[in-house]
Structure 1
Amino acid sequence: MSYRSVLAHILSSTIEPSAEQTSARERFPRASVVALGEAGLLGLTVSAHLGGGGRGLPEAAEVVTEVARICPATGAVLRSHYAAVALIEAYGGPWVRRRVADGGHLSTLALTDAGADGEPGSDGPHPASFASGTGDVAALHARKHNVVGAGEADSYVWSAPPVDGGDRPDLWLVPADAPGLFVPARPNGTGPRGSGASTVCADPVLVPASARLGRDGDRRDVLGTVLAWLAELPAARPAVPAPVRAKALA
């Protein structure tokens, strides 16, 4: 069965019936994410030899477009996931790539620092992010703003100033259960209602040095990869009511 056929089934059976409640109650679309994972769509862009769909950016953009048209929250979650997986696929280890391919791992992006004057909904000014390293452990200090799926994802692709003082940020794969990670109880971001967009705090988060995505000298390529995917993956738009969609297709 093609990924388009699988997607059409999930849209009608799971995503569309729950879209209104996802928005009205600001409830993270967990059932939709699970269905997408079980159907292989979370792993759509992972290499086929690891069990993924072996597809690329055009197919991912198509899936995000169709999902966001019906449920903006699920579309936003999927957009951030696919952009994060582009880096995991390029620079991550085979274990996490297989987990994504199996549908059991949702990732997201934590790239935007809260400003020195605080972000909307914050409790005051906070320092800029920084990173420090000791041996095989890195300590990441930051408040990341508007992280989609905060507290719901299994990992975060996390930007931080380089430990060695370079001019390009490092990107790290931070597990959701990493020591020092904190997510507020109530989402406070500006993403689509139900997308779980919120601040994620690291005070600090401790990760192994091996969690950095890419090698020395790769910073431009690593950052360029995620920016290229974000530029092509459509942002979520307001949902179109079912009667209007039916009329447009008539």
Structure 2
Amino acid sequence: MNRIISVLAVFGVTVLSLNVNAQSADQILGKADSVLNAANDAKVTSTMTITDKGGAKRERTLELYQKGNDKRLVRFLTPADQKGIAFLSLPGDNQFLYLPAFGKVRRIASHVKNTKFAGTDYSYEDLEAKRYTAQWDATLKSKNASEYVLTLKPKKGTKSDYGQLEITIKADSYYPVRVEFFNKKGVAVKRLTVKEIGKYSGVLMPKDSEMADLQSGSTTRTVLQGVEVNKGLKDEVFTERNLAR
């Protein structure tokens, strides 16, 4: 009897292992999407440090508001010459920019979404609110006990300046900790690295992260200073009118 129980136990562990290993790349990416969008809404304040190739630094503070996985507003608070510059991402590939110096909101055209946002190493495309599974098809490049590495290709109809992404996802939390961005010629042009993951009211977020421009040699490091989640943000926050306030 003991031998039978032992054999059944081994069989059960083997089946469980096979089920875990049988996860498709799209399933893994879907779990990552769920982790990234776990909060119904969030308000985040951050310190951003931009370092050029020569080592010169510029610091900024900003606030970010997000609701669901398709509404996001980013606004600079300091320094004085950047204060009020704001970006809004809405469903349907709609993006808007507000520059206080011009006093009006302008829509961002698809062909300029690879432009850097206000001198940072983030493009407008990088900042948009989205789910990976909605825009990218995934294949499993490699895996080990601690992480999965997926290769992402744009789905048919996806408008992206990138021809491919390579994303590293932690196996224990399904949180993405590294994204390599490739242009349409297959050359790596950017790298996003999450240096530290924070947990805020049960929601995982990148407490300390860095976007590196592999061509210019500049980096933008973002450190979270304050996080509020699930406070019931109103849709009015994510409007052109509020963008220009």
- Structure 2-normalised TM-score? 0.29
Query: Which is richer in strand?
Result: 2
- Structure 1-normalised TM-score? 0.29
Query: Which is richer in helix?
Result: 1
